[in-house]
Structure 1
Amino acid sequence: MDELNVGVIGVGLQGQIHAKSYSLLKEANLEAIADINEKKARKIAEKLDVPKMYKNYENMLEDPEIEAVSVATPDFLHRDPVIDSIEAEKHVLCEKPMATKIEDAEDMIKAWEKSDVKFMVCFENRWNPPFRDAKRKIENGDIGRPIYIYARLNAKRSVPLEMLSWSDKSSPVFFIAVHTLDLCRWFGESNVSVVDAHGCSGFLKERGADVLDSVQSLITLENDVECLMESNWILPESFPHGYDFEFGVYGSEGTLEVNTTHQTCSVTTDDSFIYPEIFRIMSVDDSPYGFVPGAVRHFVQSVLEDKAPMTSPLDGKAATEAALAILESIDKNKTVKLSE
């Protein structure tokens, strides 16, 4: 098998990036897309020259030419398309978070364990160049043993108020902080053990989105690495980038800090000042570059080369467990232990 025939389930913002990545990859053929919004699906299919378009993903899964799919439906709607795809013997790349309920994650894992397909969760920042380089430096021992990790990831208020029609079924934990949760586990090389979290609400609720405004979490990993995570989605629209992202690892022999907010480029005009988002996806010589295409390419290569992907559904479940512990800690105003 030299090329992989793929389909994309859900072509919202992230699904469109998956579709574009596949369309540019020489190792993949984007054969079909599926979305309940037929108008949007048809528009994307025409733009990317996709031969097949479906309203119902179940119909797409009946296509014997489709060998693998990306599932990029809303956060809380991953379970059914993932399980249906696995049972149809399609390899699966599932967007983060894998699930917003632990039962959904467990059901997906059970289906996967009965199958022979590859199942990868798209924790895309593991392919983000600054983080990949930082991870390599830590593995090389440049800063010694990690002791403390700081992670801040914030988004604009338009995300819960305008971009996500389903924001009340998510939270800044699942939509945003799950990125930093995975990075803390990856850099700390351990699972979450204890969570003490606090959150505030009111600003977004007054504007029609009944969700938390911000979350602060103190996390202890099983190997005693301490992590402090902050996330909000109330940045003003005038913020010059889509998100505010800082990450630091403080070790026994040094420190390492990553800031992907600026992305090494700025554009100033008479009307605006922005930091273009070039790390996520861009095209160079008709080939895709960026951390989402990097994750997509890794998935395709894992299938073609019959190798286990870097991020498995077990990573997805671990992140979901930690996210739910954060929300429980906020709701009950108590420390939550996951290791018991």
Structure 2
Amino acid sequence: MEPVRVGLVGLGRIGRFHAGNLAGRIPRVELVRVVDADEEIARKIARGLGVSGWSTRYEDLLEDPGIEAVVIASPTPLHAGMVEAAARAGKHVFCEKPLSLDMERTHEVVRAVRSAGVRMQVGFHRRFDPDYRAAREKIAGGDIGEVYLFRTSLRDMRSPGFEYIKGSGGFFADVTLHDFDTARWMIGEIEEVTAFGAALSDPGFEEVGDIDNAVVALRFVTGALGVVDNSRVAGYGYECSSEVMGSKATLRIDDHRRFAVQTLTPGRMCQDYVSDFVERFAEAYRREMEHFAAVVRGEVDAKPDGADAAAAFALARAAERSYREGRTVRLAPVERDGGILYEEVG
């Protein structure tokens, strides 16, 4: 079978990681061209990965008839326009989250992709992590019985910097979005969101109108409860851990060590911690790109898709309103156009 020919735009940290996977770690895939606004970066990455084409123009990807699919890892404000342009060009799309920082614009992008008849996968990498997938299979198989509680922690070791935060769309859209998608994917739809947040580590967070720590309480349609805690400034390392408590059993996901070695000294035990999301989820990101290649070939469904991105973003907006207005936001999940649309109640 001929390899899937892919072009990638955006060579920041996650873009470089995707490019590395596409260039040599994904069977039956050929990374044809990389694009970045910085000419030096585009040339250097292409040369380092042995990729024949590089450019500073996104249009070069779209105008190449040999490229079947594009991976969009550019800054968030560019996502919507780039996805629509790729769809018009007949290219299948992988786009990092979120599709847009505007709800209506998000829905416009989803409709544009459907109208063009191309496939789109969105970057919720946790769905491809072996531990999270195994846990979801146990839940779906009834191994833990009726779900009572979903708890998850997502914490960064250090802040990405205020220039990034200014354009990130806010804490809940940038950080908690992954937890909302995981909650829907593992447990089900959500009907109540109550969020608390604070800027604790640096007054600069307040100055840009954002926070660095948050706790979100959830109520699922099933009646199960959920608790999410997030931090941009945990200090000790990167953590993404989850727990699902059921009537028969409890599942825990907590894999943050580089090595399964403990150092024991008198009165103390030490164990290393990973420092960031790329290190923790390296295998998930590889499997994510492998899945996208299968999506392009038509072998599997494009999941998570644009509807999943819209649902997670709707929950992030609900959390933002809850935090800003000091109230619980009640939601009604409604099936529409092959996905879930969240409507605020009351």
TM-score normalised per structure 2: 0.87
Aligned with 2:319 (options 312, 322, 326): 326
User: Does residue 261 in structure 1 map to residue 249 in structure 2?
Assistant: no
Residues 327 and 253 of structure 1: CA distance in aligned 2, closer, same or farther (over 3 Å) = same
Deviation larger for 317-326 or 245-254: 245-254
CA distance in 2 between counterparts of 1:67 and 1:280 reads: 26
Stretches of structure 1 that go unaligned for 5 or more consecutive residues are: 282-289
Residues 332 and 43 of structure 1: CA distance in aligned 2, closer, same or farther (over 3 Å) = same
Q: Say which SS state the counterpart of residue 84 (structure 1) adopts.
A: helix
Q: Say which SS state the counterpart of residue 126 (structure 1) adopts.
A: helix
Aligned with 1:291 (options 284, 289, 305): 284
Residues 77 and 191 of structure 1: CA distance in aligned 2, closer, same or farther (over 3 Å) = farther
Aligned to 2:217: 218
Aligned to 2:32: 31
CA distance in 2 between counterparts of 1:324 and 1:261 reads: 29
Aligned-partner residue type, residue 29 of structure 1: E
Aligned to 1:16: 16
Measured after TM superposition, the shift of residue 209 of structure 1 is: 5.5
Q: Say which SS state the counterpart of residue 303 (structure 2) adopts.
A: coil
Measured after TM superposition, the shift of residue 322 of structure 1 is: 0.3
Q: Say which SS state the counterpart of residue 328 (structure 1) adopts.
A: helix
Deviation larger for 35-44 or 12-21: 35-44
Give per-residue Cα distances to partners, 1:163-209, cap 9 Å, x unaligned. Answer: xx321122332222212111111111x22221111110153333776
1:131-146 alignment to 2 at 5 Å?
131-146=132-147
Residues 85 and 204 of structure 1: CA distance in aligned 2, closer, same or farther (over 3 Å) = farther
User: Does residue 172 in structure 1 map to residue 171 in structure 2?
Assistant: yes
Measured after TM superposition, the shift of residue 60 of structure 1 is: 1.9
Give per-residue Cα distances to partners, 1:131-158, cap 9 Å, x unaligned. Answer: 1111122222211121210011110224
CA distance in 2 between counterparts of 1:280 and 1:332 reads: 35
CA distance in 1 between counterparts of 2:317 and 2:230 reads: 15
Stretches of structure 2 that go unaligned for 5 or more consecutive residues are: 264-269, 333-344
User: Does residue 199 in structure 1 map to residue 197 in structure 2?
Assistant: yes
CA distance in 1 between counterparts of 2:261 and 2:62 reads: 43
Aligned to 2:336: none
CA distance in 2 between counterparts of 1:94 and 1:324 reads: 20
Deviation larger for 250-259 or 170-179: 170-179
Q: Say which SS state the counterpart of residue 116 (structure 2) adopts.
A: coil
Aligned to 1:227: 226
Q: Say which SS state the counterpart of residue 114 (structure 1) adopts.
A: helix
Give per-residue Cα distances to partners, 1:85-115, cap 9 Å, x unaligned. Answer: 1111110011122332212211111101202
Larger relative contact order, structure 1 or 2 (CA cutoff 8 Å, min sep 6):
1
Q: Is the 8 A contact 1:85 1:92 kept in 2?
A: yes
CA distance in 2 between counterparts of 1:328 and 1:114 reads: 32
Aligned to 1:285: none
User: Does residue 250 in structure 1 map to residue 245 in structure 2?
Assistant: yes
Measured after TM superposition, the shift of residue 298 of structure 1 is: 0.4
1:149-168 alignment to 2 at 5 Å?
149-161=150-162, 165-168=163-166
Q: Say which SS state the counterpart of residue 83 (structure 1) adopts.
A: helix
Percent identical pairs in the alignment equals: 27
CA distance in 2 between counterparts of 1:60 and 1:88 reads: 10
Aligned to 1:286: none
User: Does residue 86 in structure 1 map to residue 105 in structure 2?
Assistant: no
Aligned-partner residue type, residue 211 of structure 1: D
Give per-residue Cα distances to partners, 1:7-66, cap 9 Å, x unaligned. Answer: 111111111111111112121100011111222222211111111112121232111111
CA distance in 1 between counterparts of 2:47 and 2:114 reads: 37
Aligned to 2:110: 109
Residues 2 and 129 of structure 1: CA distance in aligned 2, closer, same or farther (over 3 Å) = same
Aligned to 1:123: 124
Deviation larger for 62-71 or 258-267: 258-267
Q: Is the 8 A contact 1:199 1:212 kept in 2?
A: yes
Aligned-partner residue type, residue 294 of structure 2: Q
Q: Is the 8 A contact 2:197 2:214 kept in 1?
A: yes
Q: Is the 8 A contact 1:5 1:31 kept in 2?
A: yes
Aligned-partner residue type, residue 5 of structure 1: R
Residues 274 and 77 of structure 1: CA distance in aligned 2, closer, same or farther (over 3 Å) = farther
Q: Is the 8 A contact 2:200 2:213 kept in 1?
A: no
Measured after TM superposition, the shift of residue 305 of structure 1 is: 3.1
CA distance in 2 between counterparts of 1:193 and 1:264 reads: 40
Aligned to 2:341: none
